[in-house]
Structure 1
Amino acid sequence: MTSAANHQPRRRLDPTVGKARAMVASLLGLTSTGKYRPVDNPPLVLVGCSGGPDSLALAAVTAFFATRGEIRVGAVVVDHQMQEGSAEVAARTAAKLRGLGLDPVQVRTVDLKHDGGGPEAAARAARFGALDAAARDLDAQTVLLGHTLDDQAESVLLGLARGSGTRSLAGMRPRRELYARPFLGLRRDETLAICEALDLDPWHDPANSDDAYLRVRVRQNVLPFLAAELGPGVRESLARTAMILGQDADLLDELAGAEYRRIAEPVAPGDGGPVHEIRLDADALRLLPPALRMRVLALSVVELGGYQPSQERLASAQALLERKGSAGPVQMAGKVSAYRISRSLGVPQDGAGYGKLVFRRSA
């Protein structure tokens, strides 16, 4: 006689969970339905998880694919030490992730280095440094991040407020090198719904409601006002703007990268240490279209470990090409400065530094 337990109906998949699974599968090239397709030596995918609703939902959804044998899924929890009790929050988050079946799960504690970009920039740099190191140590092919459509809309609006260029307005890309963001088409309230459907208990970061942060004021005050005045689809429209501009920005970045490689001359110290100076041929820079020239200048700063410079700083560096007035230095964020070799320094016209715009990182 068949037991009644065998006739229990299968639990219906929550539609938001199904939608999220499809997003992860699409970005990683996996299957979310049908027969299991286990592979030999499945690649490791890591989830960067703070324990908040977005990243915890992402971790739980991605863990599903580990049960199918297509990938292995682990996680990295970064403790920024910015709040009292952060170590305990990180440890609890790691325990939740192990309970979901993720393996390996690492907690990485970081010390913030303030190089003039503010605490948020310092935290971001430290976080990505920790994620990079974890992926390298564990031989992971991808690190997933839990940014949502709401995060994308906030980024675009902040870029507009700062008067930023195409790359900033393009927001966050779904995939860039090691990092992937499957949830950029998912609303924040949907990640909360996933947590509820899967009986997850996310951590709610008090900083996300602290209006001392500009992003929080945009989230709590500006976007609700715009939605009330312009219509409820304003967040989706901002995210769509990012997607459109992202394609333009990718092309411009590709072209600028080729020009940078053509004209840049990296200089390393005699002891074989890392590159501390980049020289750019001034005549070649002048011949570039402005959109490419500014990107080449910005890339020089970033290549030396500085932060993405503001338009004002880039304009000041570009002004050095006019050979009028000061030869610099122009200070960029992140201990990088720009200057041009002046004739007054007595450098011969065929010397290594003559006719060059120089970017240098200080110790």
Structure 2
Amino acid sequence: MMRSLGEVEDEISTVESLQIDLGTIRAATDNFSDSRKLGQGGFGAVYTGQLSNRLDIAVKRLSSNSSQGEVEFKNEVVLLARLQHRNLVRLLGFCLEGVERLLIYEFLPNSSLDQIIIDPVKRANLFWDKRHKIIMGVARGLLYLHEDSRLRIIHQDLKVSNILLDSDMNPKISDFGMARLFDLNQTQAETNRIVGTYGYMAPEYAMHGNFSIKSDVFNFGVLVLETVSGQSNNLFRMGDDLEVLISYVWKNWKEGSISNIIEPPISSGSSIEIERCIHIGLLCVQENVARWPTMASVLLMLNSHSVTLQVPSRPAFFMHGGIESDMSSMQDYNLRVSEIERSSSKSNLISKNETSMTEPYPR
């Protein structure tokens, strides 16, 4: 039976060895000095610091008035203390003293993937070899969560802002506050508590509350298309048309206009490899949920060019271009998200990809 990690808060006692006293963190961050602040988000601020052994750290300081942050805090500690993989962010410790709730992570100097994608200068230096490394690393991290760890984890909020990058541009999946723990023989579940980010939530989850390990596959597909195209997964104007990234990629792929999807910084990469990644991304966001691959299949397709790829069907929430669109499923999706936002406005269960918010570490 599936249980929310927020329901196992008593397990935090099993990770007491990771507890760090508040004085140590105050010293490391110059008492949470503004000069040390990396970013500010809905659940608190993130600071950089250095421990006495000269280890660089990132400290997430949850705001005292965030009840949802309390749940996410416990989820993060309990889960990351039990998982180890080179493509998952490493939790170094936590602090619970008075009103302070602090999460201490390894410091990753290249911030998050979304901060690179929205910055024209940084994006121009993100050549294909780096983008391919990011895609492969995220795929390996997800496969570990779904099949290779001693737990079965559904992340539920995989997106470019939750992919952190180390000094060698190796990706680390972060933000496990919304994750769900499955039994190893469990494949799917239902919930009335919808959490995630608008534009990333799989359709059957956003509209019906049904989720499975393939919900993460949909998110991964969106992330792949964003990484290849350098475009965020939201509405953008292309000439006179208002486009959604997934629809824009699908139309150009169908027409054989791959060059319209690929931005100049990666045009010198392997065209076969780039096209294959786009193809795999589209397989992950198809309208037909039953045809979505597992992460094991995705990694096999990414690793071996001898594996024949199926022809994807059109993506979920497909827009034909311009304002006049086949919007029935999109309207249902938007109505569902609106209902969730109204019922969850006080607890911030839905986050909306606000590019004005700088938060390079987990919420």
Shorter chain as denominator, the TM-score bin is: under 0.3
Larger radius of gyration: 1
TM-score between the two structures when normalised by the length of structure 1: 0.25
Larger strand percent:
2
Q: More helix by proportion, 1 or 2?
A: 1
Q: Tell which has more relative contact order, 1 or 2 (C-alpha 8 A, sep 6+).
A: 2
**What is the TM-score of this pair, normalised by structure 2?**
0.25
